[in-house]
Amino acid sequence: MRRRKATYKKRTRIGTAGKPDFHLLIIVSFLTLFGWIMVYSSSVIVAFSQDRNSWYYFYRQFIWIILGLIAGYFLYRFDYHKLPKVAPILITASILMLIVVLFAGVEIGGAKRWIDLPLFDPQPSEFTKLALIIYLASWLSRKTKAIKYKNPLRNYLVVEMLPFLLILSIILVLILIEPDLGTTALIGIVALGMYYMAGEGFIHNIGFFAIMLTSTLIGLLAAFLESYRINRIKTYLTVLKTGTPEDRLGSGYQLSQMLTAIGAGGILGEGFGQSRQKFNYLGETAFSDTIFAVIAEELGLLGASAIVACFLYISLRGLKIAQNAPDKLGALLASGITLWISFQAFLNIAANVGLIPLTGIALPFISYGGSSMIVLLASLGLLLNISKYANLD
């Protein structure tokens, strides 16, 4: 074990890097290009109804992709071992942005999630995902160097649990009151996953399960505090019992249209560009939150299954990078990014097919969105950066 740690240290300092994971790069490139095309296919009618050029959202998505590629290349070339130095700045900036959006954000559908700027409306919660992963990985990878108390339980509470809960609670509360329960749950699960993987021992495991249980109860309570969330849960439970949502012209309208799109696709689909549900039935979410339903309608079960397979492959490659990372920092960064992308894809796809209540979560690399696309591609660059130092053969 000592020899292995010395090897990691040597590789890190010398900076001898191999080739990045081209398999991962190819799959994500395919999803991004495919999503770009599907955004155009799904947004034409919306752009027309808004008196805009039919290529409007297609061009804007192209800009987000280019900016994301620039950010991704920067993080690919950046020495990720220097991230702990900038992690406090990143998380502080994210918290400040989350506060600003509550007071000066753009309100859409009763939620304040975007900051109105001349050229771009950033969504702070998207940038917070990556910032928190970097911060937690930086802190969790070196927390063992903290002063130890003789009492193991006191040491765990003061050095490990309380600092983790403090920073996580601040971020989750700020996002929850936007309100955005879906993103809150996503970030909470990713953070808990990183926290579990970073520690070991009986006390750590007990503490983790206590935090997870408490978080689950708080999440359920938050879900029942808003009437629209209660309606989503009722619609979901009705679908589980009967196969069709109740009040198909009211609270169950969106899910009804999504299931109609998926059912119409069958095995082979209606053909590219032939979706009927994207014509205002799915509204402006046809190229964002519900784009997977449009994919299933146009490309059928086979096409939708291929997209699911791509995300499963990303999960496997990401976990392999984490497992073979040269140090704990790289392993936690890779684990956090992989868990984030995988679970976000699961939430979106599961909501689109009626397995879970609607969440409003975008499909990674495919859905339309500036902040989401930029941060996701930046995270890919960081993951490829770590893969250079991992033995993936």
Mean pLDDT of the chain: 86
pTM of structure: 0.89
The residue with greater pLDDT, 3 or 274, is 274
Give CA 372 to chain center in angstroms: 8
Q: Which amino acid is at 143?
A: K
**2 pLDDT higher than 70:** no
- Which of 59-73, 236-250, 286-300, 335-349 is predicted with the least confidence, judged by mean pLDDT? 236-250
Give the 3-state secondary structure of residue 107: strand
Burial class (CB in 10 A: 0-12, 13-18, 19+), 274: middle
Residues contacting residue 89 through CB under 8 Å, at least 6 positions apart: none
Residues contacting residue 84 through CB under 8 Å, at least 6 positions apart: 138, 139, 141, 142, 329
Please tell me the predicted confidence (pLDDT) of residue 10.
Answer: 39
Question: 């061009």: which residue's tokens?
Answer: 59
What are the residue boundaries of the structural domains of the chain, listed by start? 19-387
- pLDDT tens digits, one per residue of 143-195: 654 445 567 777 777 778 888 999 999 999 999 998 888 899 999 999 999 99
- Which of 130-134, 248-252, 339-343, 351-355 is predicted with the least confidence, judged by mean pLDDT? 248-252
**5 pLDDT higher than 80:** no
**275 pLDDT higher than 80:** yes
Please tell me the predicted confidence (pLDDT) of residue 60.
Answer: 93
For the chain, the straight-line distance linking the first and the last C-alpha, in angstroms and rounded, comes to: 21
Nearest Cα to Cα of residue 366 among 42, 26, 5, 4 = 42
**240 pLDDT higher than 50:** yes
Determine how many CB atoms are found less than 10 A away from the CB of residue 305: 13
State the pLDDT confidence band at 48, using cuts at 50, 70 and 90. Answer: confident
Tell me how far apart the alpha carbons of residues 11 and 112 are, in angstroms, rounded to a whole number: 45
Token digits of residue 46: 């919306």
Tell me how far apart the alpha carbons of residues 304 and 320 are, in angstroms, rounded to a whole number: 25
State the pLDDT confidence band at 243, using cuts at 50, 70 and 90. Answer: low
Tell me how far apart the alpha carbons of residues 69 and 87 are, in angstroms, rounded to a whole number: 21
**103 pLDDT higher than 70:** yes
**345 pLDDT higher than 70:** yes
Average pLDDT over residues 53-62: 91
Nearest Cα to Cα of residue 279 among 297, 267, 266 = 297
Nearest Cα to Cα of residue 373 among 181, 129, 135, 96 = 129
Average pLDDT over residues 127-146: 86
DSSP H/E element including 219: helix 202-223
Partners of 115 in the β-ladder: 105
Please tell me the predicted confidence (pLDDT) of residue 357.
Answer: 81
Cis preceding-peptide flag for 118 (omega within 30 of 0)? no
Average pLDDT over residues 318-325: 94
State the pLDDT confidence band at 39, using cuts at 50, 70 and 90. Answer: very high
- pLDDT tens digits, one per residue of 197-214: 888 788 888 888 888 898
Give CA 51 to chain center in angstroms: 32
Determine how many CB atoms are found less than 10 A away from the CB of residue 265: 26
Please tell me the predicted confidence (pLDDT) of residue 249.
Answer: 63
